[in-house]
Amino acid sequence: MFDLEPVTRYRLQRPPLVQALGQVRYPVRARLQTLEGIAPVQDELAEVFPYMEQQNVQQVSLTIGQGGPSSKSQITQTWRFTDDNGWSLDVGPDTANLAIGPEYGNFKEFESRFRSVVAALASNGGVNRCDRLGLRYVDFAPIPSANEHAWKEWFRPEITGWSATNLIRGDTRTETSLTQTQLAASPTDELAGPPVDIQATIRHGFVPANAMMPGVLPGQIDSPAFLLDVDLFVDGHQPFDATELTRQIGVLHDQIDRFFRWALAPGGEEYFGLEEIT
């Protein structure tokens, strides 16, 4: 998707990552809403996710007809798996989301857990087809009160945009500056998944304190920050194979990693404590 060279291995002493999320969607498996149906999945994942709790999610659908709009709501039962290290897995009748917050260590661990989840759903959940595969990394870097313009030095000008330039007069405050870009790329031999476009939604920019960002961050943020939210996904039918889907997640991660490394300016490398690994 990106015309960027592979990056050398690196780590950040102060990473801005607040969430890494891997998602698979599949045709509805009604039994995954029941305790009897989810129990075999729980048993297979017990070593990586020792705890499970039931959640009830309300879904509302709106229909507009001759008599005007009408709505219908229903409760979907889902399950949340957790451990003591910040990992979570939400499993519903048609979706599974694997997530980790700032405790994220490296992609190898994420990849291993993702494979375990897909394998458990395939062998014990009765899932045999993937309809959507996605990987999303959300970086959220609070801006220090001592230097409210620090964010302008963290990322390349292509990312910070014109609002970070001298075009803004010194006594003018930037309240919000968010950019969203949606991309679609033709299927590649490297991804080798379903014959459909690879898609991306990328959001980045300055976010003020007390902002609410549904779907990105939980609750209200306390301080101004810079957001970089990169979401790559493939919508298309393919076999629910743990080995192949995990390989494809690795390809999506490689693209996200290249984009993030390119986006960092020298000031960001220093601020986030970038160290190359030999």
Higher pLDDT, 66 or 234: 234
Whether residue 30 lies inside any domain: the answer is yes
Rounded Cα–Cα distance for residues 126 and 114 (Å): 17
Are 243 and 138 within 8 A, CB to CB?
no
Higher pLDDT, 174 or 276: 276
Are 139 and 154 within 8 A, CB to CB?
no
Whether residue 152 is predicted with pLDDT greater than 70 in this model: the reply is yes
Whether residue 3 lies inside any domain: the answer is no
Q: 130 has which bridge partners?
A: 238
Whether residue 28 lies inside any domain: the answer is yes
Number of domains in the chain: 1
pLDDT reported for residue 222: 78
Whether residue 264 is predicted with pLDDT greater than 80 in this model: the reply is yes
pLDDT (tens digit, 9 = 90+) per residue, 17-41? 999 999 999 999 999 999 999 999 9
Contacts of 40 (CB under 8 A, 6+ apart): 124, 125
Rounded Cα–Cα distance for residues 255 and 76 (Å): 34
pLDDT reported for residue 149: 83
Place of tokens 């790329």: 185
Higher pLDDT, 222 or 152: 152
Higher pLDDT, 156 or 213: 156
pLDDT (tens digit, 9 = 90+) per residue, 44-55? 999 999 999 999
Whether residue 2 lies inside any domain: the answer is no
pLDDT reported for residue 62: 56
Whether residue 134 is predicted with pLDDT greater than 90 in this model: the reply is yes
pLDDT (tens digit, 9 = 90+) per residue, 97-119? 999 999 999 999 999 999 999 99
Are 129 and 240 within 8 A, CB to CB?
yes
Whether residue 98 lies inside any domain: the answer is yes
168: pLDDT confidence band, cut at 50, 70 and 90? confident
Whether residue 246 is predicted with pLDDT greater than 80 in this model: the reply is yes
Nearest CA-CA partner of 131 in 255, 243, 29 = 29
Domain of residue 95 covers 13-58+74-276
Whether residue 241 lies inside any domain: the answer is yes
Contacts of 71 (CB under 8 A, 6+ apart): 60, 61, 62, 63
pLDDT reported for residue 262: 97
- The kind and range of the H/E element at 111 are helix 107-124
Q: 180 has which bridge partners?
A: 203
Mean pLDDT of 160-174: 80
Whether residue 127 is predicted with pLDDT greater than 90 in this model: the reply is yes
82: pLDDT confidence band, cut at 50, 70 and 90? very high
Mean pLDDT of 63-89: 79
Rounded Cα–Cα distance for residues 224 and 152 (Å): 13
pLDDT reported for residue 218: 55
Higher pLDDT, 181 or 173: 181
Whether residue 115 lies inside any domain: the answer is yes
Whether residue 66 lies inside any domain: the answer is no
pLDDT reported for residue 171: 76
Q: 100 has which bridge partners?
A: 20, 87
Q: Token pair for residue 271?
A: 């601020």
Percent pLDDT > 70 in the chain is 88
